[in-house]
Structure 1
């Protein structure tokens, strides 16, 4: 598995971070999980942890619902249940601390990239 794919599948985002990134409430996150549209991993303390792939899927679900689709239609489009993805835990042993450090480094790099784009890059 390529490093980028591995990092995108790392479940390191808490519910509160996921809520900020997606604009969804905790209740909505649990609701989508109950429909098996997303399946966050669980920490040793049973806390839900989301990956960047999960964030993309949640934003896709949100877009479908905002366009007027029903949950039944969203499930049909995305599949009745999510397919198991290869995750970091199945490919190599990585600790939660290591995963958080990798994520933090990626976010810092992304922020630096955005800073380097400047205001003229949007228009």
Structure 2
């Protein structure tokens, strides 16, 4: 949710408006725009800018920062895929268990009916 003007982001991150626009031009953040075309940044944008600031302070250049973010995105995709597979496996196990229980109950009912039928013939 875009909430912060560039001035507030400047205060929160200690990055200059010029630096913020520079990182925007490299595609690291994509702020929303108000009706008056003012940049509005989200919490995620601020977090990303703080990450960039930390990386640059450690001496990592723009190419390195892009690689770090690309690696993070790939790792997140792998984790999401793993989580989706885990959830699908859990759902499958639940479905198989439910069907097994229903079949067992149906079998019991059939057996009981078979046993009771001896008394009613």
TM-score (norm 1): 0.56
Gaps spanning 5+ residues in structure 2: where? 74-121
Stretches of 4+ aligned residues off by more than 2 angstroms: none
Distance 2:21 2:7 in 1: 13
Q: Distance in 2 between matches of 1:69 and 1:41?
A: 27
Say whether 1:69 aligns with 2:60. Answer: yes
Q: 5+ unaligned residues in a row in structure 1: which ranges?
A: 1-9, 83-123
Larger radius of gyration: 2
Q: SS at the partner of 1:78?
A: helix
SS across alignment from 1:63: helix
| Higher fraction of helix | 2
Counterpart in the other structure of 1:7: none
Give the CA RMSD over aligned residues: 1.6
**In the aligned structure 2, how far is the partner of 1:18 from the partner of 1:79?**
24
Task: State the SS of the aligned residue for 1:38.
Answer: coil
Q: CA deviation at 1:76?
A: 1.2
The aligned residue for residue 110 of structure 1 is none
Structure 1: distance between partners of 2:63 and 2:38? 27
* TM-score, normalised with respect to structure 2: 0.57
Indicate the structure whose relative CO is greater, using CA pairs within 8 Å and at least 6 residues apart: 1
Residue 29 of structure 1 corresponds to which residue in structure 2? Answer: 20
